[in-house]
Chains A and B, each alone.
Chain A
Amino acid sequence: MVEHQGRSNRFEEQAFRVDMRAAIGVAQVEASNRGSSTIEAEHLLLGFLFDRTSPATQALAAAGLTYETFDAALRAEREQTLAAIGIQLPDPSRLVATRPAARQLRFGASSREIWENGMRSFRSRRARAQRPTPTDFVSAILATELGTVPRALVHTGLDRNALLAALGTVSTTSG
């Protein structure tokens, strides 16, 4: 399939790709389940980590980052962030609500940034591959400087540079 470089290739339009479809689908459901109105970088990472068979996920698991550890870290980050200003999360039963269909959710600001950074690193690699791989986007997510993802990664106790190095070992053609 020919990719038109001039046309925007945002995550919405990538959902048809076999290697991206599942991760984006999971990201949509994660955002919906967590009561978010947009799909953010942390949801994308959960989406990519959900497939235990992918090369990127396996490399990260070997370095200590899994869906479960990141999920726990996200929860810990939220609790600590709110506790720091005196807010204790209410009982989850008070936050139960009907969610809009997951597929209706839009991609938020942090997703757009991941998209741009992933595309930039793909182009700078002068890769022989026609298009960016999931690994490009997972790297972009882990390389985020500010916001929920790096804050949650602090809670994992893992060294972010070690995680990025683990991803660097993933083949750029298969990953």
Chain B
Amino acid sequence: MPPITPAPTGDTADDLAAVNALRELADQLEDAAVERALREGWSWAQIAAALGVTRQAVHKKHLRRVEQANIDLRRRNG
């Protein structure tokens, strides 16, 4: 097929853009909800279970970021 130049808007472009926007929204929602859970006293294991991922994955993704927040991360089971 010869190359085409799709328009940035239209059904297909809109759906692809929606995927991009959903990923952004999912990331932001995850950051916010994980932090809120930690402030409410959730353990890393509980957050991971609610997210459907491993504890290691949550740790890796969020620990560095939330260490800068004012949350007591000591003595937290799992």
Indicate if the CB atoms of A82 and B31 lie closer than 8 Å. Answer: no
Indicate if the CB atoms of B8 and A94 lie closer than 8 Å. Answer: no
Which of B14-22, B41-49, B50-58 contacts the other chain? B14-22
Indicate if the CB atoms of B6 and A146 lie closer than 8 Å. Answer: yes
Docked pose: A90 CA to B29 CA in angstroms = 9
Set of chain A residues within 8 Å of B13, measured between Cβ atoms: 146, 151
Q: Given A78-B21, A146-B8, A154-B8 in contact, is the A35-B15 Cβ separation under 8 Å?
A: no
Indicate if the CB atoms of B64 and A100 lie closer than 8 Å. Answer: yes
Which residues between 1 and 45 of chain B lie within 8 Å of chain A, taking CB atoms?
A: 5-6, 8-9, 13-15, 17-18, 20-22, 24-25, 27-29, 31-35
Q: Given A82-B21, A85-B18, A87-B22 in contact, is the A151-B32 Cβ separation under 8 Å?
A: no
Q: In the complex, how many residues of chain A place their beta carbon closer than 8 angstroms to a beta carbon of chain B?
A: 26
Set of chain A residues within 8 Å of B17, measured between Cβ atoms: 81, 147-148, 151
Q: Chain B interface: which size bin? A: 20 to 34
Contact with B along A149-171 (1 / 0, CB 8 A): 01100100000000000000000
Indicate if the CB atoms of A98 and B27 lie closer than 8 Å. Answer: no
Give, as a whole number of angstroms, the nearest-CB distance from B13 to chain A: 7
Set of chain B residues within 8 Å of A94, measured between Cβ atoms: 29, 32-33
Q: Is A62 an interface residue (CB 8 A)?
A: no
Q: Is A84 an interface residue (CB 8 A)?
A: yes
Give, as a whole number of angstroms, the nearest-CB distance from A117 to chain B: 15
Docked pose: A23 CA to B27 CA in angstroms = 25
A95 contact from B6, B20, B29, Cβ within 8 A: B29
| A144 to B, closest residue via Cβ | B8
Contact with B along A72-113 (1 / 0, CB 8 A): 000000100110110101100011111111000000000000
Docked pose: A84 CA to B29 CA in angstroms = 20
Set of chain A residues within 8 Å of B15, measured between Cβ atoms: 85
Docked pose: A80 CA to B28 CA in angstroms = 18
Set of chain A residues within 8 Å of B33, measured between Cβ atoms: 94
| A147 to B, closest residue via Cβ | B8
Query: Which residues of B are at the interface with A, using a C-beta cutoff of 8 A?
Result: 5-6, 8-9, 13-15, 17-18, 20-22, 24-25, 27-29, 31-35, 64-66, 68-69
Jot down 11 A-B pairs with beta carbons below 8 A, ordered by A: A37-B27, A82-B18, A85-B18, A90-B29, A94-B29, A99-B65, A100-B65, A100-B68, A101-B68, A146-B8, A151-B13
